Amino acid sequence: MTDKNVDLGVQFGPLKLANPIMTASGTCGYAFELRDFVDMDRLGAYITKSITLEPRMGNKPQRTYEVASGMMNAIGLANVGLDKFIEEKIPLLEKMNVPVIVNVAGKEVPEYVKVAKEVSAQDCVAGLELNVSCPNVKEGGISFGTDPKLIQELVGSVRQACPDTFLIVKLTPNVTDITVPARAAIDAGANALSLINTFMGLAIDAEKRKPILANRTGGVSGPAVKPMALHMVNRVYNEVAKDAGIPILGMGGITNATDAIEFILAGATGISVGTNVLINPGCLNEIEVGLKEYLIRHHETKLSDLIGKLK
């Protein structure tokens, strides 16, 4: 068998993707920032950095910190804001040869709705990923993601405003039971779920007796969180998403094709790479090659046959 005989294609909601590999919001810019390092045409889909209604300059530095097998960040959703995004970034995204999904964040429901409506009206946008889970901004973000009622209100409002838009909801792992917000999002009209955003953490400088990040807390990502991410993807797949027919975009510490296969076996239809793109941007293309090699080695022809096939 050669790699011509294997099919990495997946059906992610309404999107037929050539492969399951996507960027993770916040680690890949707004369009072609990675193109010197990554063949963007070989992605399954491209997911942008979060967009908010107003520009945000982000938190004071220090904004990131390396931890054992990962990193922490508290960027604070630094972004150009909706107007500049539409004016400057959409023309770039129109040139993208793979489906474009725009990540949307906000402080309150009307802001999410306004951004979602305007962004989803752009022809080049194939779907939205609602960030209800940013741990690094004071208002909004994670406070939505940890309260199922707020998730329902938010997702329901966006669904109402954008009835035909492919809507992914990105959940926070900072909850006791991940199936609760997952159900809330699906009940309110989510077409897919992204699992997981970062874990809230604290890094301390013992000498100075101060937090290392200016924001005090930050989100932990990278290989350190992979076991928890796999567990959450698998739980949501088994207990909520499989029966609801809702695909999962799995992420959390993926660095190579083996990690990606693990997420697919756990129940993910798509996979996103975030932290490792900051370290080894070329991994986005390496994973595509590695997935094919895995299928050949296991005498499989279709990657989608492996979704949720954890024994």
Partner 1 sequence: MNQERIARRGQFQGVIVSHCPFGQGYNSLIIRFEGIASVTIAKAQPGQFVQVACGPAGITKGTTLRRPFSISGVTLDGDTTCLEIIYRIIGPGTEALANMSVGDMIDVLAPLGQGFKLPKDPDAKCLLLGGGIGLPPMFFLADRLAQQGVDRVGFAAARNIEVVQNDIVAEAIVDNPLVPSKAMKHFNASDTGSIIASDDGSCGFKGNILEALEGFLARHPDWNIATMYACGPEPMLKALALFAQAVDMECQVCMEAYMACGIGVCQSCAIELAGGERSYKLVCAHGPVFNGREIKW
User: Token pair of 155, please?
Assistant: 């997702």
Q: Does 29 bind partner 1 (CB under 8 A)?
A: yes
CA 57/CA 51 separation, integer angstroms: 12
Nearer to partner 1, 57 or 176 (CB): 57
Side-chain-side CA neighbours of residue 311 (13 Å): 0
Q: Does 50 bind partner 1 (CB under 8 A)?
A: no
Nearer to partner 1, 18 or 37 (CB): 37
| CA nearest to 274, candidates 206, 217, 225, 209 | 225
Q: Does 51 bind partner 1 (CB under 8 A)?
A: no
Please give the residues from 235 up to 264 whose contact with partner 1 meets the rule CB under 8 A: 253, 255-256
List the catalytic residue out of 28, 124, 134, 162: 134
Contacts of residue 233, Cβ cutoff 8 Å, sequence gap at least 6: 195, 196, 248, 250, 252, 263, 266, 267, 268
User: Token pair of 245, please?
Assistant: 């027919």
Catalytic residue flag (residue 283)? no
Q: Does 35 bind partner 1 (CB under 8 A)?
A: yes
Q: Does 26 bind partner 1 (CB under 8 A)?
A: yes
Only segment of 31-39, 135-143, 170-178, 244-252 that touches partner 1 (CB under 8 A) = 31-39
In the set 11, 16, 61, 160, which binds partner 1 (CB under 8 A)? 61
Nearer to partner 1, 183 or 226 (CB): 226
Q: How far is the CB of 172 from partner 1 (least distance, A)?
A: 20
In the set 15, 28, 98, 261, which binds partner 1 (CB under 8 A)? 28
Only segment of 63-71, 131-139, 164-172, 303-311 that touches partner 1 (CB under 8 A) = 63-71
Nearer to partner 1, 65 or 85 (CB): 65
Backbone dihedral angles phi then psi of residue 75, each to the nearest 5 degrees: -70, -40
Query: Do 141 and 109 contact (CB within 8 A), yes or no?
Result: no
Only segment of 33-41, 130-138, 155-163, 172-180 that touches partner 1 (CB under 8 A) = 33-41
Q: How far is the CB of 62 from partner 1 (least distance, A)?
A: 5
Query: Do 285 and 38 contact (CB within 8 A), yes or no?
Result: yes
Site pattern 167..206 for partner 1 (x: CB under 8 A): ----------------------------------------
Query: Do 257 and 289 contact (CB within 8 A), yes or no?
Result: yes
Query: Which residues form the catalytic set?
Result: 134
Contacts with partner 1 by CB under 8 A lie at: 26-29, 33-37, 39-41, 49, 57-58, 60-66, 68-71, 73, 75, 78, 222-223, 253, 255-256, 275-282
